[in-house]
Structure 1
Amino acid sequence: MTSTLRMNAESAVEEPVPPSMVERMTLILDLFEHPHTRRNLEEVTRRTRLPRSTAHRILDQLVRLRWLDHTTSGYRLGKRALGLGGREIGQNALRSAAAPVLHDLAIRTKLVVHLAVLSGTEVYYLDKVGGRSAVDVPSRVGGRAPAHCTALGKAMLAWLPPERIDTEYADAVRRTPRSIGDLGILHQELDRIRRRRGLAFERGECFAHVSCVGIALRGQEGPAAAISLVGDVHTPMERVAPLLMQAAHAVSNEFFAGPVLSRPDLSAPQQTWSSEAMTRFLTVGDGGDWL
């Protein structure tokens, strides 16, 4: 009996904190299960059982070596860690979270749906849903397009620092006669998108016969991705915008485990809005032109 109690007591003793620096660094990095995982110092200290000063020193080293980034919301995986496959893992997780929502959106609207992320000055397509109609849209999973020419791209660019837009789009090239090729006009367009709660429209700017409406999925550090609805150039995209917003909130809630889109004084939209409500929502300047 005594020996049994001794064994149970010994099994209840916590494993000792690993002594080597490599093991301790690994212990910390293992806390970041996904590319969008955030941990603060208190969480790291509690979950690793490392002394607070030790955890803080190791975190600083990991940040300095670019294994981690330190942001206002905590620590997250850095460029070096993401370069070892973390980016692909995050994109796969995003596709998995978005897939059922995108398929439902395509069925309800009978339009093509895109999911994309920002890659430099381009959008990178992670998914494309739309059945037979998808053949008519000249995009493909794994393909790219200039961000400033697409609704997907503009929806994400609207939430980037203006200085970055100045640097990366000073010499923006027009893809069609309707593409934005002037930096000042691009800034005006991005301002309109922000004032429309993130909705971006595009008609014939990337491909002459295509129109789109897009909205970004925004994380704590900025736009993580965007989804869009695509139709021919005559499709009234503003009429399906409420459904797109609903889908964006659903994907965000699934992927980020909580609402992250900015929704000032705006509850989740219904499937249909009145013409008057839609006009008030989309009008952002003189004449209400959204292009």
Structure 2
Amino acid sequence: MTVVTDAPAAKASREVPPSMVERMTLILDAFDGRAARLTLEEVACRSRLPRSTVHRILDSLVKLNWVEHATFGYRLGRRALGTGGDNGQSEIREAAAPLLHELHMQTGMVVHLSVLDGHEMVYLDKVGGRMANTIPSRVGGRAPAHSSAAGKAFLAWLDPERVDVLCGGNLVRTTPNTIVALPTLHLELNRIRQRRGLAFEREESARGVACVGAAIRGPEGPVASISVSGDVRTAPLERVAPLVVEAAREIGRTLYPELTAPRRPARPAVPVPTDTWSPEARARVLGGRVGGWI
């Protein structure tokens, strides 16, 4: 007796695409570490999913902050990294801690370490001794990125399109000095870039408080910011600004030592003769009037 089997149906059951959750898992598993940076083709190859499917799912993951998209391709986003730990925040805090205390001792002001989360800055650390109580902030607390020096310093190193997505609908006013227009914010971020990343803020986030901040930058952009705050009437922001910039750079060098590789030594300057013309050549060119004026 011949047994008839539904071969196409059996084959289809073996080739049923995985569920959406399984597809997302395959794509996230393609990133083999928090620093992995992959192109669309690499994600499709590693996940063994069709390129069009990977592209569609990645777009959704980017919108939900599971994945980040930049010029180099894709990497795990803050939400994905946060599920397995603290998104590297412990590493940042450890690298920054001695510099924060030194900055407080040098300036006598309140020092903050913060990271961007959506359109807000989250405070990872605050150093200020008895003065800390004069600033309305706390570890774990949040502040709008567009109204704080730390936030503006961070936003200044992001693509303008990214700033639009993050802040476009979130420019809330917290004081009369808060920037609430997107074009004005972009002008401010451009000024910050012209100052090599130095951001100032006077009563934009809280009344009576002035602040100066700078971003801590990694290979692919900013990873955190440090800032120094004080009374708007007495805070010497311009005087302490170089200390803030140097502290941010030092933390960056600690986190990413590969960025501090020694540069190639400059080539020695080749001496240029002061007079490369012989008297005979000069006489021929000038028609014999060597000492005269033409």
Deviation at 1:159, TM superposition (A): 1.6
* Alpha-carbon shift at residue 69 of structure 1 (Å): 6.6
Q: CA deviation at 1:29?
A: 7.3
User: 1:84, CA displacement in angstroms?
Assistant: 2.2
- The CA distance in 1 between the partners of 2:68 and 2:48, in whole Å, is 9
SS at match of 1:240: helix
Please give the TM-score of this superposition, normalised by the length of structure 1: 0.65
Tell me, yes or no, if the aligned pair for 2:31 and 2:75 is still in contact at 8 Å: no
Give the total of aligned pairs. Answer: 219
Look up the equivalent residue of 2:243 and give its one-letter code. L
- 1:18 is aligned to none
Specify which of 127, 139, 142 is matched with residue 129 of structure 1.
127
Residue 93 of structure 1 is matched in structure 2 by: 91
Map of 2:253 onto structure 1: 253
Match of 2:102 in 1: 104
Say if 2:45 is the partner of 1:57. Answer: yes
Are the aligned partners of 1:123 and 1:144 in contact in 2 as well (CA < 8 Å)?
A: yes
Equivalent residues in 2 for 1:111-190 (5 A)?
111-167=109-165, 168-170=167-169, 172-190=171-189
- 1:190-201 matches, within 5 Å, as 190-201=189-200
Aligned-pair CA distance for 1:232: 0.7
How far does the alpha carbon of each residue in 1:194-220 deviate from its partner, in whole angstroms, 9 at most, with x for none? Answer: 100000000111111110000111223
Q: Deviations over 1:13-54 (max 9, x none)?
A: xxxxxxxxxxxx9xx97963xx3x34789xxxxxxxxxxxx9
Query: Taking structure 1 as reference, are residues 210 and 162 closer, same or farther at Cα in structure 2, changes over 3 Å only?
Result: same
TM-score relative to the length of structure 2: 0.65
User: In the alignment, is the contact (CA less than 8 A) between 2:174 and 2:205 conserved in 1?
Assistant: yes
Structure 1 unaligned regions, length at least 5: 1-24, 42-53, 261-291
d(CA) in 2 for partners of 1:68 and 1:141? Answer: 26
SS at match of 2:249: helix
* SS of residue matched to 1:173: coil
Instruction: Give distance in 2, aligned partners of 1:105 and 1:81.
Output: 33
Look up the match of 1:280: none
Single out whichever of 170-179 and 141-150 deviates more from structure 2.
Answer: 170-179
Q: CA deviation at 1:81?
A: 4.2
Q: Are residues 197 and 74 of structure 1, via their aligned partners in 2, closer, same or farther at CA, if it must alter by over 3 Å?
A: same
Mapped partners of 2:153, 2:48: distance in 1: 34
Q: State the partner residue of 1:268.
A: none
Q: Aligned-pair distance for 1:82?
A: 1.4
How far the C-alpha of 1:165 sits from its partner, in A, is 2.9
2 CA distance for matches of 1:182 and 1:74? Answer: 30
3-state secondary structure, aligned to 2:257: coil
Cα deviation, 1:149-198, whole Å, max 9, x if unaligned, reads: 10011111112222233343356221111111222211111110010000
> Which of these two proteins has the greater Rg computed from alpha carbons?
2
What CA distance in whole angstroms lies between the structure 2 residues aligned with 1:171 and 1:126? 22
- In 1, the alpha carbon distance for the partners of 2:222 and 2:158 equals 8
Contact 1:38 1:74 in 2 (8 A): no
Q: Which residue pairs with 2:63 in the alignment? A: none
Rounded to whole Å, the distance in 2 between the matches of 1:248 and 1:70 is 25
